Structure 1
Amino acid sequence: MAVLFGQTIPATFMTFFKYAGETIILATVFLFALTWFLKARPHNRPKNYSVVVFDVYGQISKIQDIRTEFKTHDVAWSFMKQYKKEYPLYNFAMVSKLSKTDKPTIFRYI
């Protein structure tokens, strides 16, 4: 009787609560990771990107013979880096119009 109530039953409960605790912690970690992943990824990707040129004073400017409309983010970013090397006195912003806002959203600025 002492072995049953002193060792067997407590050992059974301890084993159950040990595995239950591990399961609850693991489920919480996966739930947190899933919610972070869903919140972190952009839901509405823009269809096109524009490069806006700013002069030294921060005013929107125009440079002749440069491409300013792009379909992908990577190409626009590559052209912006190239323009920054060619025109060091200008700053460049990659913007796009999202459907929810009236103003363009700036994605990158150099």
Structure 2
Amino acid sequence: MIFQKIFDWKTYIFTALAVISFSNFMAVLFGQTIPNVVLDFFKVAGEYVVLGAVFVFALAWLLKAKPHNRPKQYSVVVFDVYGKKSQIDGLRTEFKTHDVAWSFMKQYKKSYPLYNFALVSDLPKSDKPTIFRYI
């Protein structure tokens, strides 16, 4: 009888069911629930990091991209072989656009190879004329 009480089959069944249930609970908890919660958190956190980076970039771009004050008048300055300003009669030296002035400078360089030419303009915040191109 004592032997029968100690080794009661009901106790083993309840113990086995408890162990199996607990191990199943732990397997689901650590195998699915916790990893899914952590992965979902990092997925959403990653989306917010990317979205935040896009907004920071856009804000920096908007603050940096201010309108440029382009000069309204360009001049071509002629220099002789010694580096001193000189004058060549018949040359157009005042232009309204950079591209036209640059085109004329290239043509002048072909026509007068012993002279150098500088494309300059007066900028509002500068005391001296600013050289844009020099050939």
Normalised-by-shorter TM-score class: 0.7 to 0.9
What percentage of aligned pairs have identical amino acids? 69
Q: Distance in 1 between matches of 2:119 and 2:44?
A: 51
Partner of 2:4: none
Q: Distance in 2 between matches of 1:44 and 1:59?
A: 30
* Greater share of helix: 2
Q: Distance in 1 between matches of 2:88 and 2:109?
A: 12
RMSD (Å), alpha carbons: 2.7
Partner of 2:65: 38
Name structure 2 gaps, 5 residues minimum: 1-24
Partner of 2:33: 8
Which of 90, 93, 99 is 1:74 aligned to?
99
Name structure 1 gaps, 5 residues minimum: none
How many residue pairs match? The answer is 108
Bigger relative contact order, structure 1 or 2 (CA pairs below 8 A, ≥6 apart): 1
> SS where residue 52 of structure 1 aligns?
strand
Counterpart code for 1:31: F
Compute the TM-score of the two structures, normalised by the length of structure 2.
0.66
Bigger Rg over Cα: 2
Please state how far the C-alpha of 1:23 moved relative to its aligned partner: 4.7
Q: Distance in 2 between matches of 1:55 and 1:36?
A: 44
